């Protein structure tokens, strides 16, 4: 077919521009762009703030079965210092009565010091707050310190030396970044997680946006005029580019805000009345930002093409919800595997997850930021992602072309296969 | 004369259903052409194939002499689909310009033309409003403007009158006439025969995907008039009685029911011209108030031809069974 001679912009650009302007002008775009990071930070900071103010203390009774009866009273005293309501159990052998007291909410739980203590044995705790990790950590620490002190004394360590023996050992982990000092491992991990979360959210948000836009054009029937005026391929490309441009603007704003808030974190945290501490925050290099943005663009294209095809297959928003689930799972499963990459960025599993195109867009930037990937691996992962995006886009375009004019019945797998070979 | 559209032997099937069955017709440049047919006749399918929305299974469609649908031809066509659709959240002026750009206009040109169209349709002050703020009637006008902004040589309208109030229906007829006067070709589909009769120069009636008849509207009506129905009006009872023997002549008039009404419609016998009946009545001294050779309306022709066609199809079905 001869290429049309025309004066104006090509169809895909006209369509992309329309999609872009319609979204950027909406008040929701501005609200989400500005409040998105605030919400993201809130989801991380709020639980921590709430956790800090929560009172982990509890009412406990101590059953001391040790022969010397030294452990129990010492634990009661140590807990008392921490403002716990602790006392020795009045009827130590009657566990049934103790359980009943827990059930009647007279106490939260009871601690049993075994007959082997302090030399050995297992200290047990039964209580309604047994799932409170914070409280259990405190309890375990108190029991450990008390027991160790008694063992030391039994071994003849003088009391004045005991304190120095039991003094806590400060420990700090840092990640080498090529700069003097490096940055704290914790901070690197937080940045890695943040990149993963931003990418996951942005890709799913905008890919679903493409889906909804396709379905909307079908439901308000504007698609008929569009197909009469432009090739379906230009329609799909324009839509993906337009929506993607909105996403790129938003991610750029978010990354910019994240970098600014890193720089001025002292002042920011001061507002909340929290001290910044002397974290060595990793300074993001230009290449790190580029990696995040490149994976957003590639990952978005990869998933948006699939979502566009899903949109073309359905005829209502409700139907779209059902059909998109398998596609969404392709992105959710990698997020569930994040721990594999986070804890062992150089492992075979991490390597595989960051090469597979379904998971590489969200996991590779994290692995890169954690220092687990070489430049070679990065380039290989990108090449695989680009190649699979081309394949997916081709197949999606075929499904889109046929599906976009179908109303009513959803196609079966066999029909889909036929559409692809048109 | 060049052809705006040439359709030859076009077939379109959906599953087991044949929507368009070996359809052929030609639309000369610069005429108002109506594709008429009952619901489900295959009108919309035919129009969609001209717009490259769907592809025919067999046959050829040529536009502007030699172009296939889509591509270069698409920029010279304005299309109003049966299912109307607009972008509800877009400003009106921008949306019309958007469709202009899709049909190949430059951005500046499209904006200027969109503004001109809105002024012309009396919607000038709505340019910056969103489409969803407009009334239904106004949205329909916007839809027309979106289809016509690039001044297409061929305007294809699918059921353009459906949902229009009488005033907007008149506006649409005016626009169609203006387009034709400017040398454009207008092709539309409808099942509303009154509208088609007022405006069409040529028609093609289709039913069940097949052509029933096509040609110039005037010629079709003239041919139908020769099928011989006459309305008679007698001056008084006496005249009606005097006419009775003439009307009883089976060689002249098909046997009517015996009645003495002062106004009556009769069917001439085969091959009899109206003139002979008039002579016979005058010769019998019948005092006539009225003598009209009935020109059937397009509606009558449509019902008669499509009805017959469908009856035949039903008969064939029965025969097969």
Predicted confidence (pLDDT) per residue in A107-156, tens digit:
889 999 998 888 888 999 988 888 888 888 888 988 988 888 888 888 88
Chain A contact set for B48 (CB, 8 A): 224
Mean pLDDT of A190-205: 85
Q: Which of A9, A22, A223 sits opposite B85 (nearest CB)?
A: A223
**A377 and A320 within one domain:** yes
**A208 and A338 within one domain:** yes
User: Cα–Cα distance between A153 and A4 in angstroms, integer?
Assistant: 94
**Cβ atoms < 10 Å from Cβ of B47:** 23
**Quick check: A18 and B109 CB within 8 A?**
no
Given a contact cutoff of 8 angstroms between Cβ atoms, the answer to whether A357 and A301 are in contact is no
Q: Where in chain B is the domain with CATH 3.40.50.300?
A: 3-220
User: Cα–Cα distance between A67 and A372 in angstroms, integer?
Assistant: 53
Given a contact cutoff of 8 angstroms between Cβ atoms, the answer to whether B204 and B36 are in contact is yes
How many domains does chain A divide into?
2
Whether A214 maps to a domain, the answer reads: yes
Q: What is the pLDDT of residue B8?
A: 93
**A77 and A32 within one domain:** no
* Residue A160 three-state SS: helix
Q: What is the pLDDT of residue A357?
A: 92
In A132-269 the beta strands, taken as DSSP E runs, fall at 174-175, 183-184
Q: Which of B68, B79, B105 sits opposite A8 (nearest CB)?
A: B105
Q: Which residue of A has its CA nearest to B50?
A: A228
Indicate whether A417 pLDDT > 90: no
Split at pLDDT 50, 70, 90, the class of A409 is low
Whether A54 maps to a domain, the answer reads: no
To the nearest 10 degrees (0 to 180), the angle between helices A360-369 and A375-403 is 160
Split at pLDDT 50, 70, 90, the class of A179 is very low
Token match 């509606």: residue? B299
The domain that holds A100 is classified in CATH as: 3.40.50.800
Structure tokens at A222: 């504007």
Mean pLDDT of B224-252: 82
A–B: how many Cβ contacts below 8 A? 85
B101 or B251, higher pLDDT: B101
Q: Where in chain B is the domain with CATH 3.30.70?
A: 228-293
User: Cα–Cα distance between A246 and B127 in angstroms, integer?
Assistant: 25
Split at pLDDT 50, 70, 90, the class of A246 is very high
**A207 and A280 within one domain:** yes
Q: B85 CB near a chain A CB, below 8 Å?
A: yes
Write the CB contacts of A383 (distance below 8 Å, at least 6 apart in sequence).
Answer: none
Q: B287 CB near a chain A CB, below 8 Å?
A: no
* Å between B98 CA and nearest CA of chain A: 7
Q: A217 CB near a chain B CB, below 8 Å?
A: yes
Q: Which of B53, B98, B109 sits opposite A14 (nearest CB)?
A: B98
Q: What is the pLDDT of residue B33?
A: 94
Structure tokens at B199: 């405006």
Chain B contact set for A9 (CB, 8 A): 101, 106-107
Indicate whether A55 pLDDT > 90: no
**A22 and A72 within one domain:** no
Q: Please state the ipTM of this predicted complex.
A: 0.75
Indicate whether A47 pLDDT > 80: no
Which of A146-150, A356-360, A409-413 is predicted with the least confidence, judged by mean pLDDT? A409-413
**Quick check: A225 and B72 CB within 8 A?**
no
Helices (H) then strands (E): counts for chain A: 17, 6
Write the CB contacts of B176 (distance below 8 Å, at least 6 apart in sequence).
Answer: B32, B155, B186, B188, B199
What CATH number does domain B3-220 carry, 2.40.400.10, 3.40.50.300, 2.40.160.10, 3.40.390.30? 3.40.50.300
Q: What is the pLDDT of residue A1?
A: 36
**A15 and A114 within one domain:** no
Q: Which residue of A has its CA nearest to B80?
A: A225
- The pairing of beta strand B210-216 with beta strand B154-158: unpaired
Give one DSSP letter per residue of B120-132, joined into a string.
Answer: HTT-GGGTTSBGG
**A300 and A213 within one domain:** yes
**A139 and A192 within one domain:** no
Indicate whether A416 pLDDT > 80: no
Q: What is the pLDDT of residue A269?
A: 63
Closest by CA position to A170, among listed A278, A51, A52: A278
Q: A2 CB near a chain B CB, below 8 Å?
A: yes
Q: A1 CB near a chain B CB, below 8 Å?
A: yes
Indicate whether A349 pLDDT > 90: no
CA angle B101, B105, B110 (to 5 degrees): 75
Indicate whether B227 pLDDT > 80: no
Q: Which of A4, A223, A226 sits opposite B72 (nearest CB)?
A: A4
Q: Please state, in angstroms and as integers, the Cα–Cα distance from residue A119 to each residue in A114, A146, A151, following that order.
A: 10, 12, 7
Mean pLDDT of A212-232: 87
Q: What is the pLDDT of residue A6?
A: 64
**Quick check: A224 and B89 CB within 8 A?**
no
Per-residue pLDDT tens over the stretch B42-91:
999 999 899 988 888 999 999 998 888 888 888 899 999 887 788 988 99
Chain A contact set for B110 (CB, 8 A): 8
**A311 and A199 within one domain:** yes
Domain end call among A111, A129, A151: A151
Domain end call among A151, A174, A193: A151
Q: What is the pLDDT of residue B318?
A: 55
Q: What is the pLDDT of residue A2?
A: 39
User: Cα–Cα distance between A227 and A238 in angstroms, integer?
Assistant: 13
Q: Please state, in angstroms and as integers, the Cα–Cα distance from residue B116 to each residue in A376, B80, B86, B99, following that order.
A: 59, 19, 19, 15
To the nearest 10 degrees (0 to 180), the angle between helices A360-369 and A286-313 is 170
Closest by CA position to B21, among listed B48, B41, B44: B41
Q: B65 CB near a chain A CB, below 8 Å?
A: no
User: Cα–Cα distance between A207 and B290 in angstroms, integer?
Assistant: 74
Indicate whether A14 pLDDT > 90: yes
Chain A contact set for B71 (CB, 8 A): 1-4
Most B-contacting residue of A224, A405, A419 (CB-CB within 10 A), to test interface: A224
Structure tokens at A211: 């889906």
Q: Which of A1, A26, A221 sits opposite B71 (nearest CB)?
A: A1
User: Cα–Cα distance between A419 and B19 in angstroms, integer?
Assistant: 20
Write the CB contacts of A364 (distance below 8 Å, at least 6 apart in sequence).
Answer: A291, A295, A354, A373, A378, A381
User: Cα–Cα distance between B185 and B154 in angstroms, integer?
Assistant: 5
Q: Which residue of B has its CA nearest to A23?
A: B89
DSSP state, residue B54: S
CATH number for the domain formed by residue range(s) B228-293: 3.30.70
**Quick check: B85 and A217 CB within 8 A?**
yes
Q: What is the pLDDT of residue A419?
A: 67
**Helical segments of B164-297, H only:** 166-181, 193-199, 217-225, 237-247, 274-283
Q: A18 CB near a chain B CB, below 8 Å?
A: yes
Structure tokens at A421: 């070979």
Per-residue pLDDT tens over the stretch A159-178:
778 888 778 787 777 766 54
DSSP state, residue B262: S
**Quick check: A8 and B101 CB within 8 A?**
yes
User: Cα–Cα distance between A153 and A162 in angstroms, integer?
Assistant: 8
The mean pLDDT of chain B is: 86
**A22 and A112 within one domain:** no
Split at pLDDT 50, 70, 90, the class of A268 is low
Write the CB contacts of B227 (distance below 8 Å, at least 6 apart in sequence).
Answer: B296
Q: From edge to edge, which strands make up the β-sheet containing B229-234?
A: B263-267, B229-234, B288-293
**Cβ atoms < 10 Å from Cβ of A170:** 5
Chain A contact set for B104 (CB, 8 A): 4, 6-8
**A194 and A337 within one domain:** yes
CB within 8 Å of chain B, chain A residues 21-80: 22, 26
Q: What is the pLDDT of residue A161?
A: 83
**A275 and A131 within one domain:** no
Given a contact cutoff of 8 angstroms between Cβ atoms, the answer to whether A358 and A392 are in contact is no
Domain end call among A151, A175, A209: A151
Q: A328 CB near a chain B CB, below 8 Å?
A: no
Q: What percent of chain B has pLDDT over 90?
A: 36
**Quick check: A405 and B53 CB within 8 A?**
yes
User: Cα–Cα distance between B46 and B56 in angstroms, integer?
Assistant: 9
Q: Please state, in angstroms and as integers, the Cα–Cα distance from residue A199 to each residue in A153, A332, A334, following that order.
A: 56, 12, 12
* Å between A232 CA and nearest CA of chain B: 9
Q: A220 CB near a chain B CB, below 8 Å?
A: yes
Closest by CA position to B157, among listed B196, B104, B113, B194: B196
Residue ranges making up the domain that contains A144: 59-151
Whether A1 maps to a domain, the answer reads: no
DSSP state, residue B41: S
Per-residue pLDDT tens over the stretch B304-315:
888 766 656 555
Mean pLDDT of B95-107: 92
Structure tokens at A13: 């650009």
**Quick check: A228 and B84 CB within 8 A?**
no
């Amino acid at each position: 077919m001869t290429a049309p001679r025309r004066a104006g912009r090509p169809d895909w650009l006209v369509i992309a521009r329309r999609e872009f302007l319609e979204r950027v002008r909406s008040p929701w775009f501005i609200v989400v762009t500005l409040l998105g990071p605030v919400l993201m930070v809130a989801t991380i900071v709020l639980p921590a703030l709430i956790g800090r103010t929560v009172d982990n203390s509890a009412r406990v009774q101590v059953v001391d079965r040790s022969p010397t009866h030294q452990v129990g009273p010492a634990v009661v005293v140590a807990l008392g210092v921490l403002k716990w309501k602790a006392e020795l159990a009045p009827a130590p052998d009657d566990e049934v009565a103790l359980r009943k007291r827990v059930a009647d909410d007279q106490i939260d739980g009871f601690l049993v010091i075994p007959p082997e203590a302090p030399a050995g044995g297992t200290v047990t705790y039964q209580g309604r707050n047994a799932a409170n990790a914070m409280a259990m950590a405190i309890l375990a620490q108190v029991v450990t310190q008390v027991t160790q002190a008694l063992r030391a004394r039994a071994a003849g360590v003088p009391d004045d030396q005991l304190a120095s023996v039991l003094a806590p050992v400060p420990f700090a982990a840092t990640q080498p970044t090529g700069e003097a000092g490096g940055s704290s491992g914790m901070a690197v991990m937080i940045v890695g997680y943040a990149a993963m979360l931003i990418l996951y959210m942005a890709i799913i948000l905008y890919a679903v946006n493409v889906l909804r836009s396709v379905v909307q054009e079908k439901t308000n029937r504007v698609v008929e005029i569009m197909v009469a005026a432009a090739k379906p391929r230009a329609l799909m490309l324009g839509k993906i580019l337009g929506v993607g441009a909105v996403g790129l603007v938003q991610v750029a704003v978010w990354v910019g805000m994240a970098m600014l808030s890193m720089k001025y974190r002292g002042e920011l945290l001061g507002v909340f009345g929290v001290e910044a501490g002397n974290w060595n925050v990793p300074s993001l290099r230009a290449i790190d930002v580029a990696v995040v943005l490149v994976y957003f663009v590639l990952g978005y294209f990869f998933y948006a093409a699939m979502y566009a095809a899903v949109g073309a297959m359905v005829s209502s928003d409700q139907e779209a919800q059902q059909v998109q689930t398998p596609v969404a799972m392709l992105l959710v499963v990698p997020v569930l595997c994040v721990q594999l990459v986070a804890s062992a960025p150089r492992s075979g599993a991490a390597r595989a997850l960051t090469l597979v195109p379904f998971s590489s867009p969200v996991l590779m930037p994290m692995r890169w930021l954690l220092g687990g990937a070489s430049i070679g691996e990065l380039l290989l992962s990108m090449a695989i992602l680009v190649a699979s995006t081309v394949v997916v886009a081709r197949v999606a375009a075929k499904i889109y072309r046929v599906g976009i004019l179908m109303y009513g019945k959803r196609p079966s797998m066999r029909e889909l296969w036929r559409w692809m070979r048109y | 004369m060049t052809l705006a559209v040439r359709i030859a032997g076009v077939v379109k099937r959906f599953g087991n259903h044949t929507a368009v069955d070996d359809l052929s017709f030609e639309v000369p440049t610069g005429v108002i052409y109506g594709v008429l047919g009952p619901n489900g006749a295959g009108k919309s399918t035919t129009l969609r194939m001209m717009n490259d929305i769907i592809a025919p299974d067999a046959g050829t469609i040529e536009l502007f002499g030699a172009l296939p649908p889509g591509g270069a031809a698409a920029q010279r066509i304005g299309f109003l689909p049966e299912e109307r659709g607009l972008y509800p959240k877009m400003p009106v002026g921008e949306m019309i310009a958007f469709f202009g750009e899709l049909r190949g206009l430059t951005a500046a040109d499209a904006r200027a033309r969109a503004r001109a169209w809105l002024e012309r349709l009396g919607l000038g002050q709505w340019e910056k409003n969103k489409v969803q703020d407009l009334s239904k009637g106004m949205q329909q006008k916007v839809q027309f403007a979106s289809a016509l902004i690039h001044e297409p040589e061929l305007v294809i309208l699918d059921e353009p009158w459906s949902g229009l109030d009488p005033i907007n229906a008149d506006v649409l007829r005016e626009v169609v006439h203006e387009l034709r006067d400017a040398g454009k070709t207008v092709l539309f589909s409808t099942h509303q025969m009154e509208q088609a009769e007022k405006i069409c120069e040529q028609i093609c009636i289709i039913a069940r995907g097949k052509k029933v008849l096509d040609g110039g509207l005037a010629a079709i009506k003239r041919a139908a008039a020769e099928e011989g129905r006459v309305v008679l009006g007698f001056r008084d009872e006496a005249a009606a009685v005097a006419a009775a023997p003439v009307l009883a002549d089976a060689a002249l008039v098909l046997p009517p029911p015996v009645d003495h009404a002062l106004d009556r419609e009769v069917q001439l016998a085969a091959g009899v011209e109206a003139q002979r009946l008039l002579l016979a009545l005058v010769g019998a001294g019948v005092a006539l108030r009225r003598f009209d050779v009935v020109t059937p309306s397009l509606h009558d022709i449509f019902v008669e031809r499509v009805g017959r066609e469908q009856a035949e199809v039903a008969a064939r079905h029965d025969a097969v069974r």
